[in-house]
Amino acid sequence: MLYIQEKVNPILEALVTAVLLERPDDPAFFMLKWLCEQTKSLDGQDRAGASPGEEIETVRAELKRLKDRKAELEALATGEQGAEKADMASPRCDGKSDRSTKADENSEDDDEDDDDTVEVMPEPPKGMNRGPRQSVSAEAYGDWNKKSDFKPPVYDKTAEQKARIAKALEPSFLFQALDSEEMDTVTLAFKEKQVEAGERLIQQGDDGECMFLIEEGSVDCLKAKDGEAEKVVKTCGPGDVFGELALLYNCPRAASVQTTSKTTLWELDRETFNRIVKDAAAKKRTTYTEFLKKVPLFGNMDQYETMTIADALKVENYEKPGEQIIQQGDAGDKFYIVLEGECEAKKAFVQGQEPQKVMTHKAGDYFGELSLLKNELRAASVYTSAPNVKVLFMDRKTFKRLCGPIEDILRREAKRYEMAAGAASSSA
């Protein structure tokens, strides 16, 4: 059990998250490719030198082999059924009916077929997609269910209420992907709910139909395990979000939630969450993950680490050239990656002196990491040098938590600043 919890579950959770957010047309190929990217091999052999194209071709070959095997089994089953019908239609030479003989043979065949079925397609694990939710677990869009047909609910709110909701949602990666228009739509779709102390909001094992944001009050998350009494596993307070995981993964509630005091909540329905929030998060993750793969700094990270960083990134837009992003001498609290456009770094080597251009940052380049690594003030200012510049950023806390695997690279690459500054200083 410990092995499953520590070794197997993290991989399965990451795989399920990737599949649900990407919603590929061919899940089998997607999962094989994903696992291949994690292990760099389908059969345990060392393929460190294989190119991405070779790995994909290996996955395709493995998938083709599985499909061919399936076709062989289906053809064999069809042939056996046809032979059985032919034998039953013609009399036997010895005048003996072969029904009893066929019954015995079919009994043996059924036993073998049952064994094959278990190997090829095991039953889903208990607890996943139980009950009525099974019929809508594949919440895909088609001609019969177009996204444009969806009209989210609207509950009027004051400007102050909208601002409080938006601020509370800001830390969640799911809502970070929303643009201003989508955020406004989601904010208006939240419905206010007043509850007294001791009220059960969510029951473990039930289907998830909504998520909640706490404005005032507190709730306890309780979990029952192996027939034991419920235990408090987490307490949530103002600004916390809960209940979103059952919507994100389309699975039963993992824990119960009960108020511990008079509480003011904002409730968001499943359909609005799926149509706007989940779609935006999946699109953001795909876009940023593909971009990060092209940045050499993140080239050696595995797929899960890259997706985690992509989830944490936020975007800032600058429309005009000459707009300042960071100021020399300020405390550093963000790490930046140029997504689109171009920026330039300028440094004043002597106080009061005109800043000199020391470096140009293009798409895929990064800056601002020195202040976070060394806990020092900004060593230079950075300005946009082109129109419509987009930069991705993460705050200090997130940077320290997620960028551990590349911290040594960042420290080593920091010499580029010293070289650029030295060149600029000598030319001045």
Between CA 37 and CA 299 the distance in angstroms is: 12
Q: Can you tell me which residue has the tokens 């994903």?
A: 34
Distance, CA of 84 to CA of 327 (rounded, Å): 83
Residues 330 and 264 in one domain: no
Q: How far is CA 391 from CA 132, 362, 387, in A?
A: 44, 10, 12
* 191 domain-assigned: yes
This prediction's pTM = 0.48
Backbone angles phi, psi at 193, to 5 degrees: -140, 125
Say whether both 302 and 242 belong to one domain. no
If asked whether residues 308 and 416 sit together in one domain, one would say yes
Please answer whether residues 232 and 220 qualify as being in contact, where contact means their C-beta atoms are separated by less than 8 angstroms: yes
Its domain, for residue 237, covers: 153-275
Non-local CB neighbours of 224 within 8 Å, separated by 6+ positions: 204, 230, 231, 256
Q: pLDDT tens digits, residue range 2-51?
A: 566 556 766 787 777 777 767 777 788 888 877 877 665 444 444 445 55
Residue 69 domain-assigned (yes or no): yes
Q: In this structure, are 259 and 301 located in the same domain? A: no
Among 121-125, 359-363, 388-392, 403-407, name the one with the lowest average pLDDT.
121-125
Look at residues 84, 106, 140 and tell me which one is the last residue of a structural domain: 84
Mean of pLDDT over the chain? 77
Q: Is 15 a member of any domain?
A: yes
More confident residue, 320 or 91: 320
Quick check: 411 pLDDT over 60?
A: yes
CA nearest neighbour of 322 among 336, 350, 341, 337: 341
pLDDT in tens, 66-93: 777 777 777 776 665 555 444 444 444 4
AA letter at 17: T
Residue 101 has pLDDT above 50, yes or no: no
73 against 245, higher pLDDT: 245
For residues 88-99, give the mean pLDDT: 44
Flag whether 235 is in a domain.
Answer: yes
- Amino acid 263: pLDDT: 95
Residue 228 pLDDT > 80: yes
Q: What six digits make up the tokens of 292?
A: 């990060």
pLDDT of residue 99 exceeding 60 = no
Q: Is residue 365 part of a domain?
A: yes
- Please name the residue ranges forming H helices in 170-278: 173-176, 180-189, 244-249, 270-272
For residue 418, tell me if it sits in a domain: yes
Give yes or no: residues 305 and 422 share one domain: yes
What is the radius of gyration, based on Cα positions, of the chain? Answer: 29
Of the listed ranges 123-132, 208-217, 340-349, the least confidently predicted one is 123-132
Whether 101 is in a domain gets the answer: no
Q: In terms of C-beta distances under 8 Å and separation of at least 24 residues, what long-range contacts does 224-231 make, across chains too?
A: 224/256, 230/256
Where residue 333 sits, what CATH number does that domain have? 2.60.120.10
Bridge partners (DSSP) of residue 261 are: none
- Neighbour-count burial for 245-271, b at 16+ CB within 10 Å, e otherwise: ebbbbbbbbbbbbbbbeebebbbbbbb
Q: Which two tokens stand for residue 204?
A: 């473990």
Are 210 and 277 spatial neighbours (Cβ–Cβ below 8 Å)? Answer: no
Q: How many domains does one find in the chain?
A: 3
Q: Is the pLDDT of residue 392 over 90?
A: yes
Higher pLDDT among residues 309 and 344, named by residue:
344
Cα–Cα dist 164/184, whole Å? 12
Residue 142 lies in a domain: no
Which of 245, 275, 305 finishes a domain?
275
Give the integer Cα–Cα distance in Å for 118 and 110.
Answer: 12
